[in-house]
């Protein structure tokens, strides 16, 4: 029997970005980069482990907006076009580096191989629907895929209980559409929990959720086993808390593995480095502005200026990924040996991360996971990889607790999402939430054009509720886009509300909006008609 358990949880999420009104849209690159650098490499690693008989177990949230984008034909077509341009550029780069920049040639060959493999897996193996690949791994028992709030809505800052419940119920229905069964776990957006929200999880059949450490450490009563066993909430949902030691070891770019000098430098990119504008321009957006394109030839090197970064050597980086996987496993073994004596039972070490860390930010991250699961399988017997859903099957009796209000943002509470820069968002969001409840209760049996308008109003509200807009504004990245997206959804919701109130629907405009914001085709606006009374 194992001395302890390791549960890796990857949170895969992107905001819903889809702009059919433009032939080329910069922010859609977020999805294309994540597919090439994170989701396809992870699928490749998981399938390789499965093929080689490695019995791995990993938990992965795939949020409803991400799933909706991954199955969208427009975005699938655009991704293939994006990838074909990168393959063309990589082919040219192989020739150029062989001729005039030999120190970059091994990396150029790596990118050429990588982009061609991405196209093969995406287009040929999965017919452009990689959600199917993750679903197959879940059905085979390797993955436990969990859901998230419908649009990554931040529950503690919503104005009423009906709006909170709707985020959970819409997410549940969307998960069933994509994965063929109800979800058993959830990653609450930003790991944000407020006591009482668990009632909506239990109603939806959710058995567990992920929280930051202080949710359990400061809960009532204090946890007998710290963060190394779940607690059970007032409504019977298991809570698993993040282990801070494993987080720092992997997450931190300062003291963690991703900061190693031999790993790829994220902030040095051919989109900026190419000396000839005419050479690189065909691979940029229509505005021709220099941007990251995903071909990066330098390694982190150390604390030196960007222009002094040394050439990236793929072989060195791969070796470090294997070395760091071994170090991570050694530390977990020491950790469970110590904790087992303290707890009197096998501890569970929960290690949750943003999935995009693995591949996008830390290019070698998927290789790290590949080495880690192989070492766990072949090299030792003290650590067993499991999903949080598995632990209560091993130990059914766990402490009852009311977890503390919490999030995994800076300072652990709500400041990242509500502050002097973002507080104005909630005045409009809360008004729209109240109005949506009002509409759903006033028109409980709508059909035809009215039903379509009410469903679209629900979509626009859900999209406005995304925590991504406040996060982007607070962190100062793509602020104007986040502000515009929030305002657009509120304006469209308000226009729909006014039409419904006036009893006259502008059908051509409704069709235009339906074709733009296509998320949740299965939605039923009546989810906002629920009352706790």
Active site residue 190: yes
Question: Distance of alpha carbon 255 from its chain centroid, rounded?
Answer: 23
- Whether 251 is in a domain gets the answer no
Other CB atoms within 10 Å distance of the CB of residue 393 = 8
Catalytic residue among 190, 260, 269, 460: 190
- Whether 497 is in a domain gets the answer yes
Active site residue 512: no
- Whether 496 is in a domain gets the answer yes
pLDDT tens digit sequence for 490-504: 999 999 999 999 999
- Which pair of structure tokens corresponds to residue 188? 């609450």
- Whether 517 is in a domain gets the answer yes
- Whether 133 is in a domain gets the answer no
Confidence of residue 252 (pLDDT cuts 50, 70, 90): confident
Cα 178 from Cα 68, distance rounded (Å): 9
Q: Give every CB contact of residue 371 below 8 A, 6+ residues apart in sequence.
A: 321, 322, 325, 326
Q: How many domains does the chain have?
A: 1
Mean pLDDT for 119-144 is 98
Mean pLDDT for 408-431 is 94
Q: What is the pLDDT of residue 253?
A: 66
DSSP string, 172-192: HHHHHHHHSS--SEEE-GGG-
pLDDT tens digit sequence for 445-484: 999 999 999 999 999 999 999 999 999 999 999 999 999 9
Q: What is the pLDDT of residue 411?
A: 85
Confidence of residue 410 (pLDDT cuts 50, 70, 90): confident
Cα 261 from Cα 248, distance rounded (Å): 17
Quote the mean pLDDT of the chain: 96
Phi, psi torsion values for 146, nearest 5 degrees: -115, 165
Q: What is the pLDDT of residue 275?
A: 85
- Whether 464 is in a domain gets the answer yes
pTM of the model: 0.97
Catalytic residue among 354, 382, 514, 524: 354
The CATH number of residue 471's host domain is 1.20.1430.10
Structural domain that includes position 429: 418-529
């Amino acid at each position: 029997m194992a001395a302890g358990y390791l549960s890796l949880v990857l949170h895969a999420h992107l905001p819903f970005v889809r702009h059919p009104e433009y032939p080329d849209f910069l922010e859609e690159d977020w999805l294309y980069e994540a597919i090439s650098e994170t989701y396809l490499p992870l699928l490749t690693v998981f399938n390789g482990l499965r093929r080689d008989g490695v019995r791995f177990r990993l938990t992965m949230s795939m949020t409803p907006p991400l799933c909706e984008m991954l199955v969208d034909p427009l975005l699938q077509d655009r991704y293939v076009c994006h990838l074909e341009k990168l393959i063309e550029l990589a082919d040219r780069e192989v020739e150029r580096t062989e001729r005039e920049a030999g120190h970059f040639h091994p990396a150029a060959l790596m990118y050429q191989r990588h982009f061609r493999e991405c196209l093969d897996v995406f287009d040929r193996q999965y017919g452009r629907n990689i959600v199917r690949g993750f679903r197959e791994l879940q059905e085979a028992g390797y993955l436990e895929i969990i859901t998230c709030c419908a649009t990554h809505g931040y529950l503690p800052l919503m104005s009423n209980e009906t709006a909170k419940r709707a985020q959970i119920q819409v997410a549940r229905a969307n998960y069933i559409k994509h994965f063929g069964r109800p979800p058993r776990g959830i990653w609450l957006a930003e790991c944000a929990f407020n006591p009482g929200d668990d009632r909506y999880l239990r109603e939806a059949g959710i058995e567990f959720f992920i929280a930051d450490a202080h949710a359990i450490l400061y809960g009532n009563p204090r946890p007998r086993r710290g963060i190394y066993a779940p607690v059970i909430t007032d409504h019977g949902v298991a809570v698993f808390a993040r282990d801070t030691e494993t987080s720092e070891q992997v997450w931190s770019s300062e003291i963690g593995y991703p900061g190693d000098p031999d790993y790829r430098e994220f902030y040095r990119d051919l989109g900026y480095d190419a000396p000839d504008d005419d050479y690189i321009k065909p691979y940029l957006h229509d505005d021709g502005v220099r941007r990251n394109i995903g071909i990066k030839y330098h390694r982190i090197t150390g604390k030196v200026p960007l222009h002094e970064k040394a050439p990236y050597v793929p072989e060195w980086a791969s070796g470090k990924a294997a070395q760091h996987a071994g170090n991570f496993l050694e530390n977990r073994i020491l950790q469970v040996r110590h904790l087992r004596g303290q707890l009197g039972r096998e501890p569970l070490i929960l290690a949750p991360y943003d999935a995009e860390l693995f591949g996008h930010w830390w290019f070698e991250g998927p290789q790290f996971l590949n080495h880690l699961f192989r070492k766990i399988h072949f090299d030792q017997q003290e650590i067993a990889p499991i999903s949080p859903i598995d632990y209560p099957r091993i130990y059914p009796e766990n402490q009852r607790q009311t977890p503390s209000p919490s999030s995994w943002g800076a300072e652990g509470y709500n400041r990242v999402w509500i502050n002097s820069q973002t507080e104005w968002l909630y005045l409009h969001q809360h008004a729209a939430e109240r109005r949506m409840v009002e509409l759903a209760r006033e028109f409980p049996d709508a059909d035809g054009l009215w039903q379509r308008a009410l469903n679209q109003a629900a979509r626009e509200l859900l999209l406005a509720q995304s925590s991504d807009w406040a996060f982007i504004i607070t962190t100062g990245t793509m602020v104007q886009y986040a502000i515009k997206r929030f305002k657009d959804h509120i304006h469209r919701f308000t226009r729909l509300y006014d039409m419904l109130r006036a009893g006259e629907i502008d059908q051509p405009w409704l069709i235009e909006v339906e074709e733009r914001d296509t998320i949740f085709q299965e939605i039923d606006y009546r989810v906002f008609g629920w009352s706790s009374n």
